Amino acid sequence: MQITNDISFQTNKRDVFETLDANSVFSRFIDLLIFAISIGIVHDQRQKPTGEDKIEVARNTLVQPNLKRSLDFLFQTAILTTSDIKEKFDEDTLMRLAFDDEYEEEGFNKVNFLLEFAPYGIDVIDQKILDRDPINTLMNISEYFEELFDDQGIKDEVIQDIIAPETK
Amino acid sequence: MILKRAKINNFKQFEGEHTLEFNTDGKVTVIYGYNGYGKTRLHSFFYWLLYGNDRDGEAIYNKPSMRRSFQGDTVDIRGELEFEHNGRDHHFVRETTYKKGSNRVIKSNNFVRLRRADEYGNYQHIDEPELYIKDVLPEELSDYFFFDGEGMANELLGEKTGRNHKELKEAVNTIFGLKLYENAMSHIGTIDRKNNAIYELSRRKKDTNGKYKASTYQKFMTDKAEERDTIKQELEKDKKEKAEKQARKDKLSEQIGQKDLGNKLNAERDNLKKENDRLQKRIDETISKTGKLIGETLSYYIVSKNIKNVQDLITRKIDENYVSGLDSRIINNILKKDNCICGNHISATERENLHRLLNMLPPHSYSSIFYDYKAQAEQRLEGSKEAIEQISNIIENVTNYYDDINNNNERIEEIDSELSRLENIQQLVQERKELEKHITQLEEKMDQKNAKISELNTLVKSAEKKYREALKNNEANREITEKIEFLETCRQEINKRYEEYRNYYHKQLESNIREMIDKMLSVKREIQLNDNYTLTVSDKFGSTSLSAGQAAIISFAYIGGILNTLKNLNVKYVSQAYPLVLDAPLSHLDDDHIKNVFQHLPQFADQIIIFSKEQIDNMVEEDNSPYKYQIKTNAEANKSIVEEYKGEEYFIDQNVRRIQ
């Protein structure tokens, strides 16, 4: 996924970003966005970001190797698993969009597609995690992980399957 | 004297008749009562009954009742005491009648009766019952048997109280029988003092001729001796005043010395603040790792189920597109030659398919995509478990940091409160300055008085010499002179014995008090019994400050020390048993110390009657299982009753205690 511009995320929940920045748990907005996107992906919840406030992340932050890898990976995972995109593109196209950095489809913006998973995640964070007290926020994050994995049935075996399947 | 039963009738607020049976075997009788319910007044009943006066100078009738009565009305206050003394039962009664006059209450009658059982158990009247009682239990010793612990602690430790040290000295000397020696010596007297046997004898001497008459010398001598003694008394007062001022000055110095403490506290406060800043920074740094952990690692973990689906998809695509035996070199050759290996020309559609196939072969094959994707997932997922543990560690560390900050903040609050207390230090400095000035003036006055005493001593001795000379060579005076010399020898002998006994008792008492303190007080204290029988108690650093609880324990130890000393001496009041009636300051003591007191006190007191607002019967050893009473009161009506304690909710529900 080529990142040529700053990210601009529209939201009505700027306070979530600011509170979590103030209590130091998410001092980089991009980490919170990635957290929100991950939650959106696993719940397959996508919606166009709307709102009066804009959260902006500079391009030079986004191209840091670890973050760039995370964003690419999440994009690949999202585009190949989200349900409604399959109506728009065939499987081969989705594969090329996922794994060919230079491949583009008209009217399709990879970064914007990824950001569409964030609004749902931000709502979840607002409801389940946000607290002015950093300790409480951390405890909520911890609880959320437990709850998420119980709900999604993600156990160690799943991870093990990912890490060590026999391949051709 | 062992008390068996007391009947109280209309004494102070105890209207009607109340009977108390005292424990004579298990030793301890407890009378419970809250503050203001009448413990001290009931305690004073014993003193009134035995000696006819109220120790606190209060009216012994119920004042509000008397106020409501009419002129001419009378009220009888009656007390009865059954006790055993020297193996005989006694029955003592005191009854006082008060009559309401036109503008005051008049004591109209005082009746006292004492009967003693003979060897057959028949009661016989005793003449002069009050003298008998005073012989059994001298009034001057009553404070030590009817014991007000708190008042006594103040007195023993040198606080200013109604009683002075002279009285304490006299009382202790009386207990040990030393008063007899003092009285004897005082009775014999000295030649230079008036109103004694020697003085009276010397007055019978006849004057001889000389420059002055002997009587002139005698008058001069006794006047100067009197003047000297008056100055000596003043000097004692000055000494006491100086000691008080010195004590206050020492206390002030201690407080002022805390100015350094103030600096230390401020430094400690600054360090704690800095430490808190450091901790807060550490908290922020630690917490801020969370976002990065989630953004860069845990996001993979969140979508791990999706990852599995992607892997499945890629695997399927590999299966669908895999062509056996083809490699990129062969396809590139075909595309280059534009002919198939069968020789036919390749069409545009075939060319496009070959290009697509080429794209699916390494390095852009599905296999490579799979391995790249899987490698990245694998790497991050392996780190995820560790990341989750790291979040737990972050929570734990941050919680610990916050605990440290909270502890520091608590200490800062303590310091702030301490510092605000130290702010008035300037006033203390001024007060100390004034005290120092007073002490210096006092010392000058005392020096002058000492000089005057010394001067008067010289004059007295010189006058005595002249006086004795003026009486010499007179046959008529010889017999009197011999008598005086005999009395002086007697006095010296008595004084010698007095000093011997006094030193011995003093030493014994000090040792016994020390032993009692070591047993009853949980912290180590050094004690010194002063000449006037007050105590100096200090810790290993020399500090003489004591908590109220420690002072109470020391008063118990003191009375215990006296009784213990008496037990080991063959003097009066010793071979006989005596009660200890305690209005005890137990409220200052914690449970362990109360237990200590009740473990050791019964070992030397034959009978203990204790007034307490604290629940103590479970702290008394089983062998000394107490008889229990409780005082109930109706404060509005100024009425109290004392009745057997039956384990009601006396210590729980206040309403139970009220008489409706």
Helix (H, G, I), strand (E, B) or coil at B64: helix
A chain contacts of residue B319, beta-carbon cutoff 8 Å: 168
pLDDT of residue A116: 94
**Is B382 within 8 Å of A67 when comparing Cβ atoms?**
no
For helices B178-188 and B165-175, what crossing angle results, to 10°? 110
**Is A162 within 8 Å of B378 when comparing Cβ atoms?**
yes
B chain contacts of residue A24, beta-carbon cutoff 8 Å: 283-284, 287-288
Rg over alpha carbons for chain B, rounded to the nearest Å, is 47
Q: Is residue B353 predicted with pLDDT exceeding 50? A: yes
Extents of the domains making up chain A? 7-130
Range name among A53-57, A161-165, B333-337, B408-412 with the lowest pLDDT average = A161-165
**Is A153 within 8 Å of B392 when comparing Cβ atoms?**
no
The secondary element (H helix, E strand) that includes residue B123 is strand B123-125
- List the single residue in B with minimal CA-CA distance to A44: B306
pLDDT of residue A123: 94
Q: Burial of B389 by CB count in 10 Å (0-12 exposed, 13-18 middle, 19+ buried)? A: exposed
| Pick among A29, A32, A135 to test the B interface (most B CBs inside 10 A) | A135
Contact, B307 vs B299, CB < 8 A? Answer: no
pLDDT of residue B26: 58
Q: Shortest Cα distance from A111 to chain B (angstroms)?
A: 16
A chain contacts of residue B303, beta-carbon cutoff 8 Å: 38, 41-42, 74, 77-78
pLDDT of residue A35: 93
- List the single residue in A with minimal CA-CA distance to B291: A26
pLDDT of residue B654: 42
Q: Is residue B403 predicted with pLDDT exceeding 80? A: yes
Phi and psi, residue B82, nearest 5° = -105, 125
pLDDT of residue B659: 34
**Is B370 within 8 Å of A37 when comparing Cβ atoms?**
no
Distance CA(B544)–CA(B529), nearest Å, equals 14
Tokens of B312: 């499945």
Report cis status (omega within 30 of 0) of the bond before A165. no
pLDDT of residue B656: 36
Tokens of B456: 């008067």
* pLDDT tens-place string over residues A25-77: 888 889 999 999 999 998 999 999 998 888 888 888 888 888 888 899 999 99
Reported confidence tier of residue B648, pLDDT bands at 50, 70, 90: low
**Is B294 within 8 Å of A159 when comparing Cβ atoms?**
no
For B247-278, the three-class secondary structure string (H helix, E strand, C coil) is: HHHHHHHHHHCHHHHHHHHHHHHHHHHHHHHH
pTM: 0.47
Distance CA(B150)–CA(B549), nearest Å, equals 10
Only one residue has tokens 């491949």, namely A103
pLDDT of residue B423: 66
> Where does B511-574 show beta strands of DSSP type E?
526-529, 535-538
Q: Shortest Cα distance from B337 to chain A (angstroms)?
A: 28
* pLDDT tens-place string over residues B256-295: 776 677 778 888 888 998 999 999 888 988 888 888 888 8
| Per-position b or e across B557-584, b if 16+ CB within 10 A of its CB | bbbbbbbbbbeebeeebbeeebbbbbbb
Q: What is the DSSP letter of B22?
A: P
Phi and psi, residue B476, nearest 5° = -65, -30
* pLDDT tens-place string over residues B162-219: 445 666 777 778 777 788 899 999 999 888 887 889 888 877 776 655 556 777 888 8
Q: Is residue B595 predicted with pLDDT exceeding 70? A: yes
Contact, B32 vs B40, CB < 8 A? Answer: no
Of B302, B313, B374, the CB nearest to A39: B302
Of A24, A159, A163, the CB nearest to B287: A24
Which amino acid, B228? R
pLDDT of residue B160: 42
**Is A24 within 8 Å of B311 when comparing Cβ atoms?**
no
Of A32, A42, A134, the CB nearest to B305: A42
B chain contacts of residue A28, beta-carbon cutoff 8 Å: 291-292, 295
Q: What whole-number percentage of chain B has pLDDT above 70?
A: 86
Range name among A27-31, B257-261, B551-555, B605-609 with the lowest pLDDT average = B257-261
Q: Shortest Cα distance from A68 to chain B (angstroms)?
A: 9
Q: Is residue A130 predicted with pLDDT exceeding 50? A: yes
Closest to A74 measured CA to CA, from A105, A118, A107: A118
- List the single residue in B with minimal CA-CA distance to A73: B373
Of B369, B381, B382, the CB nearest to A99: B369
- List the single residue in A with minimal CA-CA distance to B283: A24
**Is B299 within 8 Å of A70 when comparing Cβ atoms?**
yes
Phi and psi, residue B142, nearest 5° = -60, -35
pLDDT, mean over chain B: 81
pLDDT of residue B162: 41
Mean pLDDT throughout B14-28?
83
Report which of residues A168 and B446 the model is more confident about: B446
> Where does B318-404 show beta strands of DSSP type E?
none
B chain contacts of residue A95, beta-carbon cutoff 8 Å: 314, 317, 366, 369
Task: Give the number of other Cβ atoms within 10 Å of residue B191's Cβ.
Answer: 20
Contact, B471 vs B209, CB < 8 A? Answer: no
Reported confidence tier of residue B530, pLDDT bands at 50, 70, 90: confident
B chain contacts of residue A77, beta-carbon cutoff 8 Å: 303, 306-307, 310
**Is A162 within 8 Å of B394 when comparing Cβ atoms?**
no
Of A25, A77, A154, the CB nearest to B291: A25
Distance CA(B300)–CA(B378), nearest Å, equals 9
> Where does B12-68 show beta strands of DSSP type E?
14-21, 28-32
Range name among A8-17, A147-156, B176-185, B231-240 with the lowest pLDDT average = A147-156
pLDDT of residue A156: 59
Q: Is residue B105 predicted with pLDDT exceeding 90? A: no
Q: What is the DSSP letter of B140?
A: G
Distance CA(B567)–CA(B63), nearest Å, equals 42
Distance CA(B318)–CA(B327), nearest Å, equals 15
Q: Shortest Cα distance from B399 to chain A (angstroms)?
A: 7
Range name among A16-30, A70-84, B44-58, B328-342 with the lowest pLDDT average = B328-342
- List the single residue in B with minimal CA-CA distance to A134: B287
| Pick among B298, B304, B402 to test the A interface (most A CBs inside 10 A) | B304
B chain contacts of residue A99, beta-carbon cutoff 8 Å: 369, 373
**Is A162 within 8 Å of B374 when comparing Cβ atoms?**
yes
Mean pLDDT throughout B323-338?
76
| Pick among B305, B358, B359 to test the A interface (most A CBs inside 10 A) | B305
Q: What whole-number percentage of chain B has pLDDT above 90?
A: 17
Give residues with Cβ within 8 angstroms of B155, minimum separation 6: B161, B163, B165, B168, B534
Contact, B659 vs B641, CB < 8 A? Answer: yes
- List the single residue in A with minimal CA-CA distance to B400: A135
Q: What whole-number percentage of chain A has pLDDT above 70?
A: 89
- List the single residue in B with minimal CA-CA distance to A22: B284
Distance CA(B590)–CA(B522), nearest Å, equals 11
Tokens of A1: 């996924």
* pLDDT tens-place string over residues B454-513: 999 999 988 888 887 777 656 767 788 888 889 999 999 999 999 999 999 899 999 988
pLDDT of residue B596: 80
Closest to B552 measured CA to CA, from B610, B591, B597: B597
Distance CA(A126)–CA(A18), nearest Å, equals 12
For helices A118-128 and A14-22, what crossing angle results, to 10°? 60
A chain contacts of residue B291, beta-carbon cutoff 8 Å: 20, 25-28, 31-32, 35
A chain contacts of residue B382, beta-carbon cutoff 8 Å: 163
Tokens of B607: 């009978």
